[in-house]
Amino acid sequence: MPLNTLLKTLPPIPSHPAPCWEQLRRAPIEDNGERLVPMSLAPAPVSVYPAYARLGIPGAIPECFVREGVYRALLTAARSLPEGIGLIVLDGWRPWRVQQYLFDTLQEAIHHHQPDLSEAELLERTREFVSVPSRDPLAPSPHLTGGAVDVTLCDADGLPLDMGTLFDEALPASHSDYFEHLETLTPQQHKARDHRRLLYHTMHQQGFTNLPSEWWHFDYGDQLWAYYGQHDHAHYGPAELDTIENRWRRQLG
C-alpha cells in the first residue's frame, strides 16, 4: 500500500493517563533470562544511533542493547513498515549512571524554571520524562531492564522523519497524542501527527506499549509493559552487560 494511502487509514493514537508508578512497581517480575544483544547486529531497515553517547553524556555507551525478545520484535516492526521507511533505535538498555544523570539534570532544569514547585510536584514533573533511577530487583527503572527502547522513523536516506518534537524534548508536545487534540493542524503538524500514528501502530502491532508522555518510548516485557498491556507479570528485571570480567568470574568461580 502506498505510504500516503496507508497514513490516511491509520486511526488516532489513543489517549492514556500517566502511569501510576506505585501500582506498576507492584507488578511481579519473572525474568526469563534473555540476554542483552546489540541492535547494531540488525539488518536494514533498522539503523542505530546511540543518542546519549553521541551527546557525550557521562557513562553512556556507543551501542543500543536490548533483550533478545525486544530485538526480534523491533526487527519485525521495522520490516512491516512501508517501503522507503526505516526504524532508528536511539536508546535501549541504560547504565544506572546514565539514568541518574538524566534524572538529576532534568530535575535541576525544571527547578530552575519553576522554583516554586513543591518536592512532590517537582518529582511528578520530572517523572513525566525520566523515571526515578532504581536498580531494585522488584522495581527497576524501565531502561535498566533492556525492555524499554527509544525509537523514531527515517526515510530511505536514513534521515529522521518529522515527529513534531525532537527526541527527549521535555515539552507537552512530546506527548504521543498531542496532535490528536488540536482542532486545527498546520500542514507540518499534520505530517508529524501521521508519522507518530505510523510509529505507534507499527510498534503496537508487535506487542509494544507506549509511554504516553513520550512518542519515542516503547516497552516490551518490563513493568511498564505489564502495566499498560494488562499482563500478569513482567518478563524482564534489572540487566547487566556480559563483560569479560563477569564471564571469567563465572568460569573460574
Per-residue model confidence as pLDDT tens digits over 86-99: 999 999 999 999 99
> Mind listing the pLDDT tens digit for each residue in 113-160?
999 999 999 999 999 999 999 999 999 999 999 999 999 999 999 999
- Angstrom CA distances, 45 to 157, 176, 208, stand at 11, 23, 18
Provide the pLDDT for residue 1.
66
- Grid cell for residue 227: 502495566
With CA atoms as reference, report the closest residue to 142 among 241, 49, 236: 236
The response to whether 201 counts as a known ligand-binding position is no
**Which one has a higher pLDDT value, 48 or 3?**
48
What is the model's pTM?
Answer: 0.95
Q: What is the mean pLDDT of residues 9-34?
A: 96
With CA atoms as reference, report the closest residue to 153 among 97, 74, 92: 74
- Grid cell for residue 248: 571469567
214 is catalytic: yes
Alpha carbons 68 and 74: distance in angstroms, whole number: 10
Provide the pLDDT for residue 28.
98
Q: Is residue 240 very low, low, confident or very high in pLDDT (cuts 50, 70, 90)?
A: very high
Mean pLDDT of the chain: 95
Domains and CATH numbers, the chain: 3-252 (3.30.1380.10)
Look at residue 148 and give its three-state secondary structure. Answer: strand
Look at residue 246 and give its three-state secondary structure. Answer: helix
Q: 148-154 and 86-91: which strand pairing?
A: antiparallel
The response to whether 111 counts as a known ligand-binding position is no
pLDDT at 76 over 70: yes
Q: Is residue 245 very low, low, confident or very high in pLDDT (cuts 50, 70, 90)?
A: confident
The response to whether 204 counts as a known ligand-binding position is no
> Mind listing the pLDDT tens digit for each residue in 159-178?
999 999 999 999 999 999 99
**Directed axis angle between helix 187-205 and helix 68-79, to 10°?**
130
Catalytic annotation, pick one of 63, 124, 180, 214: 214
